[in-house]
Structure formats: structure tokens, C-alpha cells
Amino acid sequence: MKQPLFAPKEVENAWKSLPSEIRETPLVRARRPGLMFKLETLQPTGSYKIRAAFTRLSRDEGSRGGVALS
């Protein structure tokens, strides 16, 4: 069995460190059985990138700026 990429405590700590502007977005069922959508378009930036950027960059790293591509 593969090990998870992140321990549950790491995920919890990352969530707690996010600023209040980051919204908890809904998970909705699609018409097709077994398919779900996470509505990250409801974030202030319209994508998941804001959550990833805040989680990935520390305060010191963030003060130097950064670039995200998709």
C-alpha cells in the first residue's frame, strides 16, 4: 500500500494557516454517478491557486514574491 503524500496533521495545519479570505468551497455531485466537482471557482481568485500559494509559501518566501503557472 502506498504511503499518503501528506499526514492528516499536515493537512490540518495547512488549513489552519490559511487567511480568512480563503473560502471553504462546496463539493457538488455531477449528473454522472460517481463524479463530483469541487467549486474552487468560488475563491477570490477564481481558482485553487490561492490556496496552494498560501500553503506552499512561508512568510519569508512570500515577501520575496512568487510566480504560479498552470
SS (H, E, C) 28-65: EECCCCCCEEECHHHCCCCCCHHHHHHHHCCHHHHHCC
Section 20-47 average pLDDT:
90
The total number of structural domains that make up the chain: 1
Section 37-58 average pLDDT:
82
Nearest of 65, 64, 68 to residue 45 by alpha carbon:
68
Residue 54, pLDDT score: 78
Kindly state whether residue 70 falls inside one of the protein's structural domains.
Answer: no
Residue 60, pLDDT score: 61
d(CA 49, CA 69) in angstroms, rounded, equals: 9
Query: Is pLDDT above 70 for 59?
Result: no
15 Cβ neighbours under 8 A, 6+ residues apart: none
Kindly state whether residue 68 falls inside one of the protein's structural domains.
Answer: no
Section 5-26 average pLDDT:
86
The pLDDT > 90 percentage for the chain reads 24
Structural domain boundaries enclosing 37: 21-59
